[in-house]
Chains A and B, each alone.
Chain A
């Protein structure tokens, strides 16, 4: 089974802090994704990566950056945390491919509170 591990289940930080959310997958997947989940808004894509050192902006990249130095690890960075970044963050990974048979596999999420 694919395992996507997010480093923290709950995290509390202060406004203005630099915050790192870490995600590791164990199935040698090329694709990795960071989503933000808010009530009534569903999941929205922040950034994704097709390969090491590659990154692409998703729908809501403002205020975030990412790092992918190794294939198995994809980090989401909040450069200067703000209260409107309080949310649930979900990481996912998948194999590349055109069919539906490479679905995204998700981690358990990090519930981040910015005070």
Chain B
């Protein structure tokens, strides 16, 4: 079974600075998808960024980018120019390309933005 590990329960960053959230996963599959979701205090989970395992290029969405290291099974999220609205729980998630639609989530990292 696949597992997703987020080793940082909490992180904080100064407003306008850059922060990196780490995520590692364990799988024997070669084709899969990885996601970062954000859950603000309003509670709704919002998709931040997605990555296909067979694409070597790291995904980028505005201030959010990933560092995908397939051999190391690492999928970290970098947030540049941090804003107060970035404060949230961030969840890393894995989905097999072969075995259906199920997502496996990590335990989350709570990000605090310091004004």
Interface residues of A (CB under 8 A from B): 31, 33, 35, 40-45, 48, 50, 58, 88, 90, 92, 94, 96, 98-104, 106-109
Residues from chain A with a CB closer than 8 A to the CB of B46 are: 106
A98 to B43, CA, bound (A): 27
Residues from chain A with a CB closer than 8 A to the CB of B95 are: 100
Q: Is the CB of A109 within 8 A of B107?
A: no
**Residue from the set A40, A42, A44, A48 with the largest chain B CB neighbour count within 10 Å:** A42
Interface readout for B42-71 with A: 1 if CB under 8 Å, 0 if not?
111111001110000000000000000000
Residues from chain A with a CB closer than 8 A to the CB of B108 are: 42
Closest to A94 in B: B101
Shortest B110–chain A CB gap in Å is 10
Shortest A1–chain B CB gap in Å is 11
Q: Is the CB of A42 within 8 A of B105?
A: yes
A98 to B97, CA, bound (A): 6
Shortest B102–chain A CB gap in Å is 6
Closest to B108 in A: A42
Given contacts A100-B35, A106-B44, A106-B46, 18 further A-B contacts (CB under 8 A): A31-B101, A33-B101, A42-B4, A42-B105, A44-B105, A45-B103, A50-B100, A50-B101, A58-B102, A99-B33, A99-B52, A102-B101, A103-B35, A103-B47, A106-B45, A108-B44, A109-B43, A109-B44
Residue of B9, B42, B101 near A40 (CB, 8 A) is B9
Shortest B60–chain A CB gap in Å is 15
A83 to B102, CA, bound (A): 27
Closest to B102 in A: A45
Top 5 closest A-B pairs, CB basis? A106-B45, A100-B33, A42-B107, A43-B105, A42-B105
